[in-house]
Structures are given as C-alpha cells and as structure tokens.
C-alpha cells in the first residue's frame, strides 16, 4: 500500500455560540438524554444557587430563559484571563468573539446562558448532584469554547494504491485545535494522520462495512 496523492485545503471552523434556552435543551438531549423539562429544572437549580462553602448559595449560571447570544464585556474579559492562565495566551483571540441570533422576535433582554464565574470548574467538589454537574459542565465548556479562537485544519483527500486498486481516504489533519481544546464536536471521527506522497503504509486491520441510506430520524421534543 502506497500513498500516491495527497490534496489539502486549509479550512477554519468557528466556535459555536454560547447557549440560548433552545440550544441548551437540544445539546442536553443529544449528549445526555435529558428531556427539556428535566434540563430546565436542573438549570433552575444552578441559577438559584449551589452551596460552594460560602455564607450563601452561589448562583452558578446566568438566567436560563433567553434567546440571546450576547455576553457581558466583564464576563468576556474574565473568561479570557482564565483561558490564558489555564491553556495559554494562544488560546485567547485578539478580539472577543461576538454572535447574533437569527431568530425573528427573539427575546434578548438577558445574556446567553453562561457560568457566572468561569474559574468555577465543573469538577468543583461542592457540586454533589451528578445531573447538576453534567449540565454545568456542558454550559461551562460551551461558554469557554465560544470565547476561544477558530480551529484550523487541512481538509485532506488521500489516494492510496495497492496493485490495480486505489483506495481513497477523506478527513481532516489538525493544524491548531483552538476551541476544539474544550468543545470536541465530531472532529475526531474524521481525523487523518499527516501523510505524504510515495509514503508506504502497513495494513493493521481490514474493517469491511456496507452503508445503506437511512431515513431521517423522527423528531424529538
């Protein structure tokens, strides 16, 4: 097996915006199987306050009923400082990213759903309830990712020759992970190693598979 051709195209991917009510419900359903009602009940608890060892319960997130993607400037600055300290200055963009909702008649009186203090990690020992911890982790990760730089990678098409047959692999070669440092999405599924023309490859395993067109999934709530 030998690589005969590698075609690359540099691509950038923007981070997703912080959560609004509807996108939080969708993500909690997709990633954790939470029903919308359960998501909002847990979010209400996070908003009202969790005992972190102080004199009063600490509200961990901003108000959870909102259509807005806007973020307070002070929150953006605090988040940038936390990201710089935790992950390095190259994970802080020159200007804080901004996002606009596409919904007509959106209720934008409140900010997007975000942690009230980015430095309170989901691993905080006082967040005992596992459902609260999972949802807070989702909100915290999404907010941090929304304030980080774009991911950079090469969309790559590789042709591999063996005898009279040619095999084609399509995928991504990561250049800079950017917001993917926090918010992985589905990038890993199509990751390819760095390959060069004329490079010889060794077969590790054959995985025969057949794909049939499937109908679109039924709508959930």
pLDDT for position 192? 87
Quick: pLDDT tens for 121-179: 888 767 778 899 999 999 999 999 999 999 999 999 999 999 999 999 999 888 999 99
- Give the catalytic positions in this structure: 63
The H helix count followed by the E strand count for the chain is 4, 3
Give the range among 25-29, 47-51, 53-57 with minimum mean pLDDT. Answer: 53-57
In the sheet that holds 151-162, the strands lie side by side as: 2-13, 151-162, 165-176
pLDDT for position 110? 82
Quick: pLDDT tens for 140-149: 999 999 999 9
pLDDT band at 1 (very low <50, low <70, confident <90, very high): very high
Quick: pLDDT tens for 210-219: 989 999 888 8
State residue 12 phi and psi, 5-degree precision: -115, 145
Q: What's the rounded mean pLDDT across residues 81-95? A: 95
The pLDDT of residue 15 is above 90: yes
Helix axes 130-146, 21-32, angle to 10 degrees: 120
Q: What's the rounded mean pLDDT across residues 92-105? A: 82
Compute CA distances 14 → 164, 174, 176, 183, 209, whole Å: 41, 14, 12, 11, 32
The pLDDT of residue 37 is above 90: yes
pLDDT band at 187 (very low <50, low <70, confident <90, very high): low
The pLDDT of residue 201 is above 80: yes
pLDDT for position 107? 60
> If you compute the radius of gyration of the chain from its CA atoms, what whole number of angstroms results?
21
Q: Is 198 left (phi over 0), alpha (psi -120 to 50) or beta?
A: left
Considering the chain, what is the average pLDDT of its residues?
Answer: 89
CB within 8 A of 221, min separation 6: which ones? Answer: 29, 35, 36
């Amino acid at each position: 097996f030998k690589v005969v051709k590698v075609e690359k195209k540099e691509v950038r991917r923007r981070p997703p915006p912080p959560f609004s009510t509807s996108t939080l419900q969708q993500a909690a359903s997709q990633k954790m199987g939470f029903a919308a009602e359960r998501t909002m009940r847990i979010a209400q608890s996070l908003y009202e306050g969790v005992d972190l060892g102080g004199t009063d319960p600490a509200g961990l997130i901003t108000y959870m009923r909102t259509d807005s993607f806007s973020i307070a400037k002070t929150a953006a600055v605090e988040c940038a400082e936390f990201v710089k300290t935790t992950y390095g200055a190259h994970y802080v963009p020159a200007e804080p990213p901004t996002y606009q909702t596409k919904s007509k008649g959106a209720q934008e009186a409140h900010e997007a759903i975000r942690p009230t203090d980015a430095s309170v990690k989901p691993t905080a020992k006082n967040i005992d309830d596992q459902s609260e911890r999972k949802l807070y982790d989702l909100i915290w990760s999404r907010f941090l990712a929304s304030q980080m730089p774009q991911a950079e990678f090469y969309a790559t098409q590789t042709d591999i020759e063996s005898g009279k047959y040619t095999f084609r692999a399509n995928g991504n070669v990561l250049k800079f992970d950017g917001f993917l440092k926090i918010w992985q999405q589905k990038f890993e599924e199509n990751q390819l190693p760095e390959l060069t023309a004329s490079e010889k490859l060794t077969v590790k395993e054959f995985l025969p598979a057949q794909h049939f067109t499937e109908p679109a999934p039924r709508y959930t709530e």
